[in-house]
């Protein structure tokens, strides 16, 4: 039986699993590995703090999440399909590991981020054409 997300350790579990699925994915894996050459020792702790802030009222996150994505977009335009795929992988990851109110909240917040960012990047990419 699955349980709900209740701690930063739980967040680390789903973030690690999510990024493992992302890096091995045909659509987005190359963005992390080849294009941006992500430093995982730096990136993953930021993501732990980000999700802890969103789900458990953590206060450790420092950053501007849009900025690195703008940098990616300069190299590979991010489309609605990228964000739809991102939310699909995120939802699959959460569903495979957890269930409960916080798990549902994580999926809702991720969906809202994906929708908002897909709209913003679509607008930016149209401006640049």
d(CA 103, CA 6): 9
d(CA 75, CA 3): 40
pLDDT band at 118 (very low <50, low <70, confident <90, very high): confident
Q: How far is CA 26 from the centre of its chain?
A: 16
Look at the chain and report how many structural domains it folds into.
Answer: 1
Average model confidence (pLDDT) across the chain = 92
3 domain-assigned: no
19 domain-assigned: yes
42 is in an annotated binding site: yes
pLDDT band at 65 (very low <50, low <70, confident <90, very high): confident
Q: What is the pTM of this model?
A: 0.90
Provide the percentage of residues in the chain whose pLDDT is more than 70. 99
CATH label of the domain that carries residue 54: 1.10.490.10
1 domain-assigned: no
2 domain-assigned: no
Least confidently predicted of 33-37, 52-56, 125-129: 125-129
Domain coverage including residue 84: 8-127
64 domain-assigned: yes
């Amino acid at each position: 039986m699955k349980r709900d997300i209740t701690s930063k350790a739980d967040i680390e579990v789903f973030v690690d699993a999510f990024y493992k699925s992302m890096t091995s994915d045909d659509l987005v894996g190359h963005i992390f590995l080849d294009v941006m050459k992500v430093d995982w020792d730096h990136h993953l702790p930021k993501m732990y703090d980000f999700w802890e802030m969103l789900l458990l009222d953590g206060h450790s996150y420092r950053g501007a999440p849009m900025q690195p994505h703008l940098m990616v977009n300069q190299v590979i335009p991010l489309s609605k399909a990228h964000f739809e795929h991102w939310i699909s992988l995120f939802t699959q990851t959460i569903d495979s590991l957890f269930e409960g109110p916080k798990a549902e909240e994580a999926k809702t917040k991720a969906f809202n981020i994906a929708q908002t960012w897909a709209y913003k990047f679509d607008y930016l990419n149209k401006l640049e054409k």
